[in-house]
Amino acid sequence: MIYEMRVYSCVPGGMPALLGRFETTTLKIWERMGLRPAGFFTTLVGPNNHDLTYFLAWESLAEREQLWNAFASDPEWVAARAAHQEAHGEVVANIASSFLTPTSFSTIT
């Protein structure tokens, strides 16, 4: 199992709209498509209080490529993202992504 850590840095004031989109739209599409979120986090204390950090679990990079590309082109997602952007403008200023593997002593495998 590998984990993708994605960090979305929001524009000032954009976090509520981004969180709402995940909660009401994105997660339902991911469930239908078989994407496996492993956790979502906002910064409680620290310099990046405009960041949403989340993890996705993948069997392999090939699975990630297949499912992420399918998600990115999914008609329901494309329409929902466009409607959200029309209603709220661009809420994410930057996206960073890293791929992680658990250590031999990790509690997550």
Q: Give dist(CA 93, CA 2) in Å, integer.
A: 26
The per-residue pLDDT for range 38-78, each reduced to its tens digit, is 999 998 888 888 999 999 999 999 999 999 999 999 999 99
Question: Does 109 have pLDDT greater than 80?
Answer: no
**Strand ordering across the sheet containing 51-58:** 36-42, 51-58, 2-10, 92-100
3-class DSSP state of 59 = coil
pTM exceeds cut of 0.75:
yes
Q: Which candidate, 8, 14, 101, 26, places its Cα nearest to that of 60?
A: 101
Please tell me the predicted confidence (pLDDT) of residue 108.
83
The per-residue pLDDT for range 67-105, each reduced to its tens digit, is 999 999 999 999 999 999 999 999 999 999 999 999 999
